[in-house]
A and B are shown apart, each in its own frame.
Chain A
Amino acid sequence: MKTEWDIIVVGGGPAGIFAALEAAKAGASVLLFERKREMGIPVRCGEAVGKVDFHSYTEVDPRWISTEINTFVMVLPNGKEVKLKSNIYAGYIINRDLFEYDMAARAAAAGACIRMRSNVCDLLKNVSGEICGVRVEKRGTFQEYHARIVIAADGVESRIARQAGIASVLNIRDIEPCVQATLSGVDIPEKALYLYVGTCYAPGGYAWVFPKANRCANVGLGINGKYSKRGRNAESYLQDFLKRFFPEASVQRYVSGGVPVSTNLETLSLKNLLITGDAGHMVNPLNGGGITHAIESGIRAGKAAAGACRKPGEMQSLFDVYEKDIYRRFGKNHESQYRIKELVYQMNDEEYNRIGEEVLKIDLKKRSFLAVFRKVVKEHPGFLADVLRAFTGI
């Protein structure tokens, strides 16, 4: 059995799959380990992605698209719906299980080797303390694999970065425990994303209703970790929400998951280690979206790692560029989004209602996200700079 590889990828989510695909395409020998037993399952995800971004990464198979979205509706604590201008919210609700399954097959077709039911339990270090591979547990037996570069794509539960000495433990206020039910037989508008804001639905987070094909919908919520208590957790909030809005619906699927809502990890590379996706906390901390960030960072990490295998002398500079590119592409933006989150999620339900009612007075054609935030700014003037930064990317 081959135990020497150019690149080992830990984790087979979107970040790891795309990293393996890109690195293999660039000619590196790539081995990917995934703890679970099936690619894409369970789908711990609302499955919402921006249309333009999604198409920019790979050739999209029509089977991956469940529904197309063009409308965005915010539901206030008092139940009123604030519809926002539609044309800027072009998105999809995807079938993420099919997407990941197919992409893993594409990575394998490009030459990457994929190993399931393989839990990476340790990073291996050589006598000089450098990372040289991983120790893997598979069905109770342990095996060591060596590589020149390790890519940590091990998601929110990441332990690889920690083992390398990077402080990546999430503070409880920087994580959202989430639960989601995929309902069937629901009657909701097919092209609209619904976000329920306010502490009555989900304190420090929001509840979502995302339509899927055949009258199904992903209905879930995340609460801020600091509000999560053993006796009052995400699951109990979701049960309340379902009872209130979908008492009769059947459930097709039930999942849970944690979403990192911090800013990006500061250190995304360490000598011959690269960190991608949720493992690097690359989720938009305001809306919790992380699929496209995982894909993009995976692609960039795969390319950088393959480049470093070809020219080992340039590893350091290639990895520096990786870190800088991630910061430029979304790390910086997430810093603004984080400050907005801190403000928005400390509003109480009366404030949400009042601001929402103000926004409702704006003509629908002019009712954008920015218009909403302008109303927030009126009440919290210091907020303006962050909003502008977040939306202009400055």
Chain B
Amino acid sequence: MLVLSGHCDQCGTCVAVCPANALMLTESALVIDHERCTLCALCVNICPFAALEIKHED
């Protein structure tokens, strides 16, 4: 599952590259739509702050 585990500056870079339209910024947060997210990890790598991470449930 894609999770926000670090500091998010709400810069929107991840939103711009998300091919699944699964990310959205609100006034003060990044919102992840887990139903749309395909775990492609583009956002994980593009984030300037390493704020996103894919966590595997065990």
Task: Tell yes or no: B2 within 8 A of A by CB.
Answer: no
The 5 A-B pairs at the shortest CB distance, nearest first, are namely: A157-B12, A258-B13, A234-B48, A157-B15, A256-B11
Which residues of B does A touch, CB under 8 Å?
Answer: 9, 11-13, 15-19, 21, 24-27, 42, 44-50, 53
A344 to B28, CA, bound (A): 38
A289 to B19, CA, bound (A): 25
Q: A156-B13, A175-B16, A258-B12 are in contact. Are A119 and B25 (CB under 8 A)?
A: yes
Q: Give A290 Cβ to nearest chain B Cβ, in Å.
A: 13
Select from chain B the residue with minimum beta-carbon distance to A171: B17
A255 to B16, CA, bound (A): 17
Q: A229-B45, A260-B16 are in contact. Are A35 and B27 (CB under 8 A)?
A: yes
Q: Are A169 and B16 in contact (CB under 8 A)?
A: yes
Q: A225-B46, A233-B48 are in contact. Are A159 and B15 (CB under 8 A)?
A: yes
Q: A35-B26, A159-B21, A255-B9 are in contact. Are A235 and B16 (CB under 8 A)?
A: no
A154 to B12, CA, bound (A): 10
Q: Give A278 Cβ to nearest chain B Cβ, in Å.
A: 9
Q: A243-270 interface mask toward B, CB cutoff 8 Å, 1 = contact, 0 = none?
A: 0000000000001111010000000000
With A172-B42, A230-B53, A258-B16 given, can you name 7 additional A-B contacts, CB distance below 8 Å? A35-B26, A35-B27, A119-B26, A157-B25, A159-B24, A235-B49, A256-B49
Q: A169-B18, A169-B19 are in contact. Are A256 and B45 (CB under 8 A)?
A: no
Q: Are B16 and A228 in contact (CB under 8 A)?
A: no
A225 to B44, CA, bound (A): 11
Select from chain A the residue with minimum beta-carbon distance to B20: A169
Q: Give B3 Cβ to nearest chain A Cβ, in Å.
A: 13
Mind listing 24 A-B residue pairs with CB under 8 Å? A119-B25, A119-B26, A156-B16, A157-B12, A157-B15, A159-B21, A159-B24, A162-B21, A169-B17, A169-B18, A169-B21, A170-B16, A172-B17, A177-B13, A177-B46, A178-B48, A179-B48, A230-B44, A233-B45, A233-B48, A233-B49, A257-B13, A258-B46, A260-B16
Q: Are A137 and B11 in contact (CB under 8 A)?
A: no
Q: Are B17 and A175 in contact (CB under 8 A)?
A: yes
A156 to B10, CA, bound (A): 12
Which residues of chain A are near B48, meaning CB under 8 Å? 177-179, 228, 233-235, 256
Q: Are B27 and A37 in contact (CB under 8 A)?
A: yes
A177 to B51, CA, bound (A): 13
Q: A156-B16, A159-B15, A169-B16 are in contact. Are A177 and B27 (CB under 8 A)?
A: no
